[in-house]
Amino acid sequence: MRTKLLAAAVITVLLLTGCAAVPTQGPIRNGSPDGPVQQVNGVVIEAQSPRKNAKPLVIVNGFLEAMSDSRAFNVAREYMTPDAAAAWKPETKTYVYDQSSTKSLSALDNSRIELRAPLIGTIDERGSWTPAARGQTVQFVFKISEADGQYRVSSVPPGVFLGSNQLEPQLQPVALYFLNRERNMLVPDPIYLPLNLPPGQRATLLIQGLLNGQTSRLGSAVGTAAPAGTQMNVSVPVDVGVATVTLNDAVAGLNESDRRALAAQIAWTLRPISTRVRITVDGAKLLQESEIVSYSDFLDFDPSVPANQMKDLYGVRAGKIQRIAQDGSATIGANPLNNSQLYQFPAESFAVDLRGEFGAIVTRIDGERVIAVDRLDPGDKDGKVETLATAGTVLRPSYDNAGNLWVVDRAESPAPRLRIRSREGKLTEIQTTFGGLTPVQFRIAPDGVRVLLVLRKNGTVTVQTATIGPNAQNQLVLGNYRPLELPLTDISDATWYQSGLLVAGRARAGAARQPWQVNVDGSQPRPIPGVSNEFQADKLAANPNIDTLPAVQDQSGQLHWQTKDLSWFTLEEDPPAPIDPVYPG
């Protein structure tokens, strides 16, 4: 009986995540029959069969509870008439709604029960999250008919309705990993997978999702080392802590560089399940160097931590660039970077490359607003600071991992401009319209593919993501805008933070403006652990390094940063002087 239940669960979750090419050879195996159960918030609802002679409203309530258990859609079908059960396709889409809404379920009459509630977001057949626009609702009428003397649902839902209190207990955000344009860095592509599955099943789902290619969120901005037609010969077993991925001969023609890139994609994608992976092609090793690899063997592809210097905090005080000591190795406070040639110029904003070697400031030289670029540590003081001419309003620049500097100017004009300056000084303009909105903040991710934007229109501020990718003429374009539809007001800033985002905003009118942690797709916004109500957040500083301590400038200009024990340290100096904080990136 247990074997049948596990098999049913595999089929269900493969359908839920849109895995069209299901392995047909070999059994699904794993080291532990049950697998680890992750601790999550909320109470997991397990599907229960309908009670005999239950009334229509009780039947619909039971149906909603049963369909939230993705392991047991066959139980949910027991609440339906035979024709409706046969026609229902739960894998089509998952609608996550606010179940706390009053009267979300109501009886229209004896044969119709209506679900109407605020819609939070949807999850498509690939597992990709799309946030709902503010004010959007989910609405469906469950028609009730009699079948074998019992009330049953005869209308066919367009997918699954999932109460928001079941999102974390039932589904987990994970990432597939693809390659940036230079094919030297991984780019995460977030999806949701069902929780509480044995490791082998989860690993199979992840690799199948990887081989299906990137989701529409990244589109043509990323690539993969897997050739067309690459498939798993069997499912992915996880035995004694090692996941084994067996690929078909479509991979056989890859050169060693592409084989290593593919191994990096696979190892990083499987990292939540197993840190050790065996990858074979028709029984032979994918990589000659080792039979078993780990994601740590591919740290040069790391999408978040290219250098330890990412943890160093910088800032601008009274127009002068500073390095801020946080860890007690020096006097805690701001220390002027007066050995850099940039220090001689009044800085309006400041960016530091991810290795802490170069900086860029928005400044004025001979009356013209420019971006000046130079080393931060002592160098050739007789050398000339490199400058980039600008026009109009200039946003704070942003660096990617390759040392490219991304610059937005003319921000307040009808035609804002985005340019990229390479480490060698080559300047390229990126095609964009910024979606017809006014850019307020621009943050490039280390991979040089993903962009985080704070945009304004008619006084309303929104946070969106976008991508940098080639068009048909192989020109780089900023596009694929995705509004995050956050339930926040009075948003003042946003930045990359660990594996997600950090956004400063208010949960409601009159509440404190706080730093909120958000998944990169806009799902699961929540105040960061240890958030303080003692100051109003205005500007944020963070980056994807997991060890970076988030820093906040409050409305008075005072600087705060979170310590490792989640308490907040406030930089108190006499006399006080506002500091605009900046981490590398």
Q: Residue 329 has what pLDDT?
A: 57
Whether the pLDDT of residue 13 is over 80: the answer is no
- Distance (Å, whole) CA 439 – CA 86: 49
- Distance (Å, whole) CA 513 – CA 510: 9
Whether the pLDDT of residue 161 is over 90: the answer is yes
pLDDT tens by residue, 242-275: 999 999 999 999 999 999 999 999 999 999 999 9
List, in order, residues 6 or more apart from 361 with CB less than 8 Å away: 316, 321, 342, 345, 347, 348, 349, 350, 351, 371, 372
Whether the pLDDT of residue 304 is over 90: the answer is no
Q: Are 283 and 26 in contact (CB under 8 A)?
A: no
Q: Burial, 565: exposed, middle or buried (Cβ in 10 Å; 0-12, 13-18, 19+)?
A: exposed
Q: How confident is the model at residue 306 (pLDDT cuts 50, 70, 90)?
A: low
* Residue 319: CB atoms within 10 Å: 12
Whether the pLDDT of residue 20 is over 60: the answer is no
pLDDT tens by residue, 197-233: 899 999 999 999 999 999 999 999 999 999 999 999 9
CA 194 to chain centre: 17
pLDDT tens by residue, 325-358: 886 555 678 899 999 999 999 999 999 999 999 9
- Distance (Å, whole) CA 529 – CA 516: 9
Identify the top-confidence range among 177-181, 191-195, 325-329: 177-181
Comparison of pLDDT for 41 and 407, the residue scoring more? 407
Q: How confident is the model at residue 574 (pLDDT cuts 50, 70, 90)?
A: confident
Q: Is 307 strand, coil or helix? A: coil
Write the DSSP assignment of 321-377 as a string of letters: EEEEE-SSSS-SEEEE-TTSGGGGS--SEEEE-TTSSEEEEEEEETTEEEEEEEESS
All structural domains of the chain, each given as residue ranges with its CATH number in brackets, are 2-19+177-301 (no CATH), 56-170 (3.10.450), 308-582 (2.120.10.30)
Q: Residue 507 has what pLDDT?
A: 94
Q: Model's pTM, two decimal places?
A: 0.89
User: Residue 170: phi, psi to the nearest 5?
Assistant: -105, -30
Q: Burial, 51: exposed, middle or buried (Cβ in 10 Å; 0-12, 13-18, 19+)?
A: exposed
Comparison of pLDDT for 124 and 20, the residue scoring more? 124
- Distance (Å, whole) CA 310 – CA 137: 41
Write the DSSP assignment of 37-74 as a string of letters: PPP-SS------PPPTT--HHHHHHHHHHHHT-TT-HH
* Residue 66: CB atoms within 10 Å: 22
- Distance (Å, whole) CA 180 – CA 187: 6
CA 121 to chain centre: 15
Q: How confident is the model at residue 148 (pLDDT cuts 50, 70, 90)?
A: very high
Whether the pLDDT of residue 523 is over 50: the answer is yes
pLDDT tens by residue, 61-117: 999 999 998 888 999 999 999 999 999 999 999 999 998 876 899 999 989 999 999
What is the CA angle 221-174-562, rounded to 5? 95
Q: Which of 64, 275, 188, 170 is nearest to 499 (CA)?
A: 188
Provide the token pair at 115. 């679900």
Q: Residue 7 has what pLDDT?
A: 38
Q: Are 153 and 143 in contact (CB under 8 A)?
A: yes
Q: Which of 153, 10, 15, 13 is nearest to 78 (CA)?
A: 153
Q: What is the mean pLDDT of the chain?
A: 89
Q: Burial, 243: exposed, middle or buried (Cβ in 10 Å; 0-12, 13-18, 19+)?
A: buried
Q: Most distant CA pair in the chain: distance in Å?
A: 93
SS (H, E, C) 182-244: CCCCEEEEEEEEECCCCHHHHHHHHHHHHHCCCCCCCHHHCECCCCCCCCECECCCEECCEEE
Whether the pLDDT of residue 35 is over 50: the answer is no
- Distance (Å, whole) CA 345 – CA 367: 12
Whether the pLDDT of residue 383 is over 90: the answer is no
